[in-house]
Amino acid sequence: MSLLQLNLPDGFAQAVHLTQAELEGQIRLMAALKMFELGKLSSGKAAELAGVSRVEFFELCGRYQVPIVSYDEGELQAEVEFLAQWRP
């Protein structure tokens, strides 16, 4: 695993009411969620970065309103048309 150092202003952890360890975990989680949302990481890699299982990561996606599946307009339209074929 590689190491990334991040310089934060003095008192930052106190300002957000977190211990240093909690802050590290939150930064890793937020980075994982955002990179997953942007399509930069798979769910497995994002879960690994966040230090949780994939199931836990998907639960966290729900908690932080990060969509697990994202369609562009064309993909969504194709999915709607496909599903419409199966309607009675």
Q: What is the pLDDT of residue 49?
A: 97
* d(C-alpha 28, C-alpha 36), whole Å: 12
User: 35 vs 25, 55, 66, 81, CA distance in Å?
Assistant: 15, 17, 10, 30
What confidence score (pLDDT) does residue 86 get?
82
Residue 68 pLDDT: 94
Report the pLDDT value the prediction gives residue 69, as an integer from 0 to 100: 87
pLDDT tens string, the chain, 88 residues long: the values are 789 999 999 988 889 999 999 999 999 999 999 999 999 999 999 999 999 999 999 999 999 999 998 878 888 888 888 989 887 6
Q: Which two tokens stand for residue 88?
A: 């009675």
Domain residue spans in the chain?
Answer: 12-84
